[in-house]
Amino acid sequence: MLKKAMIATLSAAAALSGVALLQAQAEPANDELVIDGRKLITETKAPEGHPFDVVRSGWLYRTKETRDLERDSFENPGMLYVERGKEIWNKVDGSAGKSCASCHQDAAKSMKDIGAHYPKWSAADKRPINIELQINKCRAEKMGAKPYKFDAADQKALTTYIKNQSLGTPVKLDLTQGDMMKWWHRGKDEYYVRTGQLNLSCASCHELNNGKHIRADHLSQGNVNGFPTYRLKQAHMISLHNRFRGCIRDTRAEYPKAFSDELMALEVYVTWRGSGLSVETPAVRQ
């Protein structure tokens, strides 16, 4: 308490004198994530061409209580959505009378590791495709079922279930397919452009100030290896595009539509920034 009081006083003094103060207690945790006996990669060497030397999972920037929730697959509230996703996987839906399982059988086998390699290039759509869009494609084209609206409860549960089959697998995108590099470059440009009334870019917080606090929030590097994520603040699963829109809204900018070209490009680039980190879905964050 004394230490906190001292830092508070120093911060106040620093603020008055206009000097930026680096708070030592704001560093990412030195901790190991083991889920059901499997060690996950939460810190690794950054890929070639990355501005950082080391990429870190957002898990390391959370409090011990939050980190503990993710460790325990019984307590992790996101696992309830994995279970719901499994129900949906096995449920027949649409005019073709099929369920996901009709074609893909046991998700633990057919969906193993694939979540770590999305977004992928879709030759048919001539743009990158993510899990949510792939699900909707399957529903429309193969099942005769209505595609999910963005952030439908079932869409989130099913996406969480599918990505959870890749738990532990290091994120690795194939940027050689189709025009993926063009979209990567576009996403990179978007990452560094300042927008909104607050004139902030993704880089303003996640590249230049990760490890520091923005109000009460401990800024991470902004990696997306844990999405969809169980956010304690909202007490339910949060999809990646929901988070993108939320962040951009928070800069007081107009935020793009989910699955728009802007956000698909951003997803490609931001996913790449976390290459090598294990898929943590469903991650638990603040």
Partner 1 sequence: MATPRPRLKLPKTAKAGEVITIKTLINHPMESGQRKDKQGNKIPRKIINKFTCEFEGQTVFASDISPAISSNPYFEFNAKPMKSGTFKFTWVDDDGSKYTLEQAIEVK
Residues making contact with partner 1 (CB under 8 A)? 74-75, 77, 80, 83-84, 87, 235-236
Q: How far is CA 220 from CA 97, 202, 212, in A?
A: 44, 11, 8
Nearest CB to partner 1, comparing residues 86 and 186 = 86
To 10 degrees, what angle do helices 153-164 and 131-138 make? 110
- Min dist CB 91 to partner 1, Å, is 12
CB of 77 to partner 1, least distance (A): 6
Q: Of the two residues 50 and 236, which places its CB atom closer to partner 1 in the complex?
A: 236
CB of residue 69 to partner 1, shortest distance in Å: 10
Q: Work out how close the CB of 236 gets to partner 1 at its nearest, in angstroms, rounded to a whole number.
A: 8
247 annotated active-site: yes
Could you give the C-alpha distances from 184 to 9, 152, 220, 264, in angstroms and in order?
A: 44, 27, 21, 9
* The two structure tokens encoding residue 214: 């923005």
> Which residues are identified as catalytic?
247
